[in-house]
Amino acid sequence: MNSQNATKGLFRTKTVEDTIRDTSSSEHSLKRALSAFDLTVYGIGVIIGTGIFVLTGTAAKDYAGPAVALSFAAAGIVCALAALCYAEFASTVPVAGSAYTFSYASLGEFPAWLIGWDLILELALGAAVVAVGWSGYIQNLLGDIGIHFPTSLGGGTDSHWGINIPAALLVLAVTTLLVIGVKESARFTALIVTVKVAVVLLVIFAGLFFIKGSNYHPFIPPTQKAASGGSGGSQPLIQHLGFAPGTFGVMGIFTAAAVVFFAFIGFDVVATAAEEVKRPQRDLPRGILASLTVCTVLYVAVTLVVTGMQKYNTLSEKAPLADAFNATGAHWLSGFISAGAVLGLTSVTLLLLMGQSRVFFAMSRDGLLPQAFSRVHPRFKTPYRSTILLGLIVAVFAAVIPLKALAELVNIGTLAAFILVSLGVIILRRTRPDLPRAFRTPAVPYVPIAAILACLWLMLNLPVDTWIRFAVWMVVGLFVYFGYSRGHAKRAQQQSVARPEEYVAASEE
């Protein structure tokens, strides 16, 4: 009896009705102020950033060559499959928390905890990585006008460690903006997105005049053996399962897709703002799908232009877009691109922090984390306590952590979340067919199954070391859940009050 109740406790679900009802308390509910346009801007604001300004060079040079455009297309298709599932869930359960909230309503408390714990890591590291990238661009811009930041305070070098003060200051600044209000953040983001989309379009149209057809040959470079000296942990997991090495060739396209997948995290952040949308049933699907479509088209166009401007094996890994124009002699365009990158990475940092604070807020409101963090500001109606706490933690991360391998860790966390959301759509269709769904994922269960398989394939293309780090973080989450969250969960307390005789009988046995 005890074991049966324990198992039921792990997979107790929070009904959609209860999930929505928890937002009725003014002390624990967020202000609805966002429109479909705001959501689309949010999505574009967080998606266009590190991937297009930084990862393009690395993915082309090390994995796929000019075929990196196909890698971005493949990653976009995987995201589109998952986005259809997100759109159904977000319109059906328009509550803060994204994949965590969706999993609680379909898979149960324990899977929801795991994905929430996963999202906290994903968004925290993602924000820190982007802030460090922003710091590099801003230091380059300052250096162009003769202002040089001390190396020890600018993040150091590959051989000398240093504190990254600019990155930490950026995180603290956007944290302050998020506390003030979500609508204010939306206006700020809309301004930044306008500028950086203009910069991306400038790259595409100006770059057309510098393309050389010879740079596209070979479009898919021949497969190369993995570099000697690399440890087994640095190799993609799929290599240990008997598949060919993923450097260039067709396999290189998928390896690059797993790397640049970081560039697409963003539409799931749109889902975290569900509770702050005026008409969530209509606007959430529009915002999610529109932002993903726009960004995928821009990504593929930019990669085709950049790899046509400069041979893939000479691309810069730090600032590929700006350096490609430098290589062609168009130095005046390089400055505009660097400025666009600074603005782009600013909005990405802001939106990742917003998404993280909303997940933390939702978990706190359910009792899985201390409920003190589920209180909203009496004036601004934002989850200020969780925002400030997480902002401080991410600022420390951005100041002291190295960049390498973090993007891959973010990727595996995002893909795991996509898998659970896709599985949740199938389950909720069976268990709650009566729920009103403003948006319905087409061809269920085939589209969710395709999303699950595609996400799993990309996960297998990530290094073994990334899987190990991810496993360690999830083990820590198990200790937190069984040590604190399981006993403090609201669902456990409500069931204990509603059915005390069952709990008494179970304890006696």
DSSP one-letter string for 102-120: HHHHHT-HHHHHHHHHHHH
Indicate the residue type of 429.
R
* Token couple for 144: 């162009």
pLDDT bin (cut points 50, 70, 90) of residue 161 is low
Residues paired with 359 in a beta bridge: none
CB 402 within 8 A of CB 155: no
Average pLDDT over residues 410-425: 85
Question: What is the pLDDT at residue 501?
Answer: 43
Residues paired with 277 in a beta bridge: 34
DSSP state of 216: G
Convert the pLDDT of each residue in 475-489 to its tens digit: 999 999 999 999 888
Question: What is the pLDDT at residue 447?
Answer: 94
**DSSP code string of 427-461:** HHHHH-TTS--SS--TTTTHHHHHHHHHHHHHHHT
166 or 237: which carries more pLDDT confidence? 166
Q: Please tell me the pTM assigned to this model.
A: 0.77
- Asked whether residue 268 carries a pLDDT value surpassing 80, the answer given is no
153 or 222: which carries more pLDDT confidence? 222
* Token couple for 42: 């949010």
Convert the pLDDT of each residue in 209-221 to its tens digit: 999 999 999 999 9
- Asked whether residue 3 carries a pLDDT value surpassing 60, the answer given is no
Question: What is the pLDDT at residue 307?
Answer: 93
Among 61-65, 70-74, 95-99, 468-472, the least confident range: 95-99
Beta carbons within 8 Å of 37's beta carbon, 6+ residues apart? none
Indicate the residue type of 285.
P
Calculate the average pLDDT of the chain.
80
Q: Which of 255, 229, 257 is nearest to 243 (CA)?
A: 255
Give the integer Cα–Cα distance in Å for 71 and 457. 13
Residues paired with 20 in a beta bridge: none
Q: Burial of 52 by CB count in 10 Å (0-12 exposed, 13-18 middle, 19+ buried)?
A: buried
Average pLDDT over residues 330-346: 79
Task: Categorise residue 228: left if φ over 0, alpha if ψ from -120 to 50, beta otherwise.
Answer: beta
Question: What is the pLDDT at residue 30?
Answer: 66
Average pLDDT over residues 179-188: 72
DSSP state of 485: I
Distances (CA, A) of 173 to 169, 178, 392, 417: 6, 9, 11, 28
Question: What is the pLDDT at residue 370?
Answer: 92
Give the integer Cα–Cα distance in Å for 212 and 202. 18
Average pLDDT over residues 273-294: 82
CB 86 within 8 A of CB 288: yes
307 or 285: which carries more pLDDT confidence? 307
Going through 114-238 in order, the beta strands assigned E by DSSP cover: 154-156, 161-164
Tallying the residues shown for the chain, one arrives at 509
Q: Which of 299, 303, 408, 336 is nearest to 49 (CA)?
A: 299
331 or 307: which carries more pLDDT confidence? 307
- Asked whether residue 228 carries a pLDDT value surpassing 50, the answer given is no
Question: What is the pLDDT at residue 364?
Answer: 92
pLDDT bin (cut points 50, 70, 90) of residue 403 is low
The owner of tokens 């510098």 is 210
Among 62-71, 230-239, 406-415, the least confident range: 230-239
- Asked whether residue 504 carries a pLDDT value surpassing 60, the answer given is no
Task: Give the whole-number percent of the chain exceeding pLDDT 90.
Answer: 20
Return the exposure string of 251-273: e unless at least 16 CB atoms fall within 10 Å of the residue's CB, then b: bbbbbbbbbbbbbbbbbbbbbbb
**Coil, strand or helix: which one is 295?**
helix
Task: Categorise residue 119: left if φ over 0, alpha if ψ from -120 to 50, beta otherwise.
Answer: alpha
Question: What is the pLDDT at residue 441?
Answer: 92
CB 105 within 8 A of CB 13: yes
Angle at CA 461, nearest 5°, toward 450 and 472? 100
Question: What is the pLDDT at residue 72?
Answer: 92
Give the integer Cα–Cα distance in Å for 236 and 220. 20
Average pLDDT over residues 390-409: 77
Question: What is the pLDDT at residue 508?
Answer: 38
* Token couple for 96: 């803060």
Question: What is the pLDDT at residue 480?
Answer: 94
Task: Give the whole-number percent of the chain exceeding pLDDT 70.
Answer: 83
pLDDT bin (cut points 50, 70, 90) of residue 394 is very high
- Residue ranges and CATH numbers for the domains of the chain are 2-508 (1.20.1740.10)
Among 427-441, 442-456, 481-495, the least confident range: 481-495
Convert the pLDDT of each residue in 114-142 to its tens digit: 888 988 888 888 888 888 878 877 887 77
CB 292 within 8 A of CB 418: no
Question: What is the pLDDT at residue 476?
Answer: 93
Convert the pLDDT of each residue in 10-57 to its tens digit: 778 887 778 777 766 655 566 777 777 888 887 887 788 766 777 788
Question: What is the pLDDT at residue 426?
Answer: 93
